[in-house]
Amino acid sequence: MNVQEGTTLGAYRVMERIGRGGMATVFRAYHPALDRFVAIKVLPDFFADEPDYRERFQQEARSVARLKHPNILEIFDYGYDDGTAYLVLELVEGGTLAERVGKPMDLRDVILLDLMLPGITGWEMLDALREDASTRDVPVIIVSGSALDHAHAHGVLHRDIKPSNILLQQDGTPVLADFGLAKMTGAMHRLTSSGTVMGTPEYMSPEQAADELVGPASDVYSLAVVAYEMLTGRVPFLGDTPAAVLLSHVTKAMPATRELRGELSAHVEDVLRRGLAKRPEERYPSAAAFVAALKPAAWPSRHLDEPSALPTRRLALPDRRPVVLVVDDGAANRELIEACLAGVECHVRTAEDGPAALKSVQASPPDLVLLDVQMPGMDGYEVCRRIKGISATRLVPVVMITSLDQTNDRVRALEAGADDYMTKPVDRVELVARVRSALRLKGVYDSLDSAEHVIFALAAAVEAKDPYTEAHTQRVADAARAIGSRMNLPLSDLDALYRGGLIHDIGKIGIPDAILLKPGPLDPRELAIMQQHPMIGENIVAPLRSGASLLPIIRHHHERFDGTGYPDRLSGAGIPRLARVVAVCDAFDALVNDRPYRARKTLDEAVATLRTGAGTQWDPEVVSLFASDVPSCARQGAA
């Protein structure tokens, strides 16, 4: 059937053609019954010729239609009329991201805003920014990794993420289109059998380019390509033929982002490089994680001598309903618990098994998890252990709900990290009481966590003062944790090394800039003031309940192994072990990076300096471990 303007497809009247791609033609159409305009995607003729293909496509379309997310294009209907197969879609008329890319976006002049912020939506934050005179005219790039993660949690891959498939509402809301289309058509026309590339070569992951099995990590790669193009104005790989482009994805390293400027360019490049890693397991675990890694790069990116683009007053943020995740392999049980919580001020999400629960938690951490124990595959104990084993979710209360009521079952649940335990059948009154109690507990955790966020923000502010120490603390934190892992330290110590590495220099916020940024040696008076920063840092962090394990690192990372350091002249094993680890990583990073008073050293020169100072300035055991595997430490960010 040749679709023309004025043609009727099912209940829809075709108005005009608004787009054409390699796999379909898109028309603007009118649906009289609901008095609304829609988009109709007319599919290629081979769907009309093969009933099996049409059936499969309809099944896939049903799967995609079940995805309910504000940033996923909604599928309204599927039809087959006189030899023409078509999809009826939400009509988005604000253009596409493809119309906005093509030149680099200056990080100094944008705010990167995620739609799915904890405690407040991106739109509420946008409203607050627009109400403030200081941010009213600052361009805002609205992004969302949650749409991809939502689809992945429901078993749907995109496979063709590119700017032209990211539609924009009139207000700038991004909407992902063609979800699952590449998968649907790819099953019918394989690359190896027809020579037709299913997807767009410039945005395809290495595994997709090699026609291998793909998973969510493939979409994360494609999203990273889009981000690369947004920030640089070009895609990372080009070629004379599609095959040449695909080969580049598989074999070539990511080109340097030479278009990026400023103190945050190295951070952005590192984020993009991980997002574009050749091996799927080396990329960010989710699209939301990739977006979260990019966000810090855009907020503080204005030059220090420019007026701040962000509001200095506290934004009045609306209250947020807590989220309760109900995990049970029985649909009836999930519905029952959700009904029991109807009177509780919360939003209920559900997951049908352990992997789905973990994906949901990873995409957007809930405030409480109600977790069934006996589930096929991954049981509730393992799910609980994994939730509690992730730093971002270890404080999320988990209540186990099960028909098992033996003492050893309760003990096993508590050992897995559960905060509470209930037996089936649940009593509604008791369930509501326990949920409210757990949510109050989570509120307390969040208030403590907010205090920690303030401390870490102060540490970031210190680092932002000095362009020579850009990302210094992050590199020290990564390297310290890597060395601690090689020393077989417990997880609590590894966490302390990482967090302590991030804020070991927080006390420098109390040091005058004239001393902190002096481009030459300090005189005795200045040196005495500088040497106060470990004690200032300890006093800042001391009130933080979760900071007890960090205090020795902050106070003692400038002690020397021979007892001539500061502030307490501790020596040898008298220096806290974690402080000795951070001291080596701190020194190494300082050696291999430029400073106002000297140029950087090579890796070999820096290692030689460490070896020379082993036993006098630094712990020889830590130096030996570090020097024995410098490339690994460099990959962790130390160089």
Percent of the chain with pLDDT over 70: 74
Which pLDDT tens digit goes with each residue over 366-412?
A: 999 999 998 988 999 999 999 988 877 888 899 998 877 777 888 88
What is the average per-residue pLDDT within 162-166?
A: 87
pLDDT for residue 16 is more than 80 = yes
Bridge partners of 350?
326
Which of the two residues, 260 and 366, has the higher pLDDT score? Answer: 366
Q: Which pLDDT value is given to residue 438?
A: 86
Q: How confident is the model at residue 298 (pLDDT cuts 50, 70, 90)?
A: very low
Angle in degrees, CA 308, 312, 314, rounded to 5: 150
Bridge partners of 337?
none
Which stretches within 135-240 are classed as H helix?
Answer: 146-153, 181-186, 191-194, 206-209, 216-232
pLDDT for residue 591 is more than 50 = yes
Q: Which pLDDT value is given to residue 625?
A: 92
- Mean of pLDDT over the chain: 78
- Measured between alpha carbons, how far is 182 from 159 in angstroms, rounded to an integer? 6
Q: Which pLDDT value is given to residue 460?
A: 65
Structure tokens at 430: 């008791």
Which pLDDT tens digit goes with each residue over 105-140?
A: 554 444 444 444 444 444 455 555 555 555 454 445
CATH 3.50.50.60 fits 8-89, yes or no: no
Domain ranges of the chain: 8-89, 97-298, 323-444, 466-638
The architecture (CATH level 2) of 97-298 comes to Orthogonal Bundle (1.10)
Report DSSP letters for 383-452, one per residue: HHHHHHTSTTTTTS-EEEEES---HHHHHHHHHTT-SEEEESSPPHHHHHHHHHHHHHHHHHHHHHHHHH
What is the average per-residue pLDDT within 34-63?
A: 74
Q: How confident is the model at residue 464 (pLDDT cuts 50, 70, 90)?
A: low
Q: Which pLDDT value is given to residue 463?
A: 62
**Orientation of helix 472-486 relative to helix 491-503, angle to 10°:** 160
Q: Which pLDDT value is given to residue 490?
A: 92
What is the average per-residue pLDDT within 273-298?
A: 82
CATH 1.10.10.10 fits 466-638, yes or no: no
Fold of 323-444: Rossmann fold (3.40.50)
Structure tokens at 40: 């109709």
Q: Which pLDDT value is given to residue 423?
A: 82
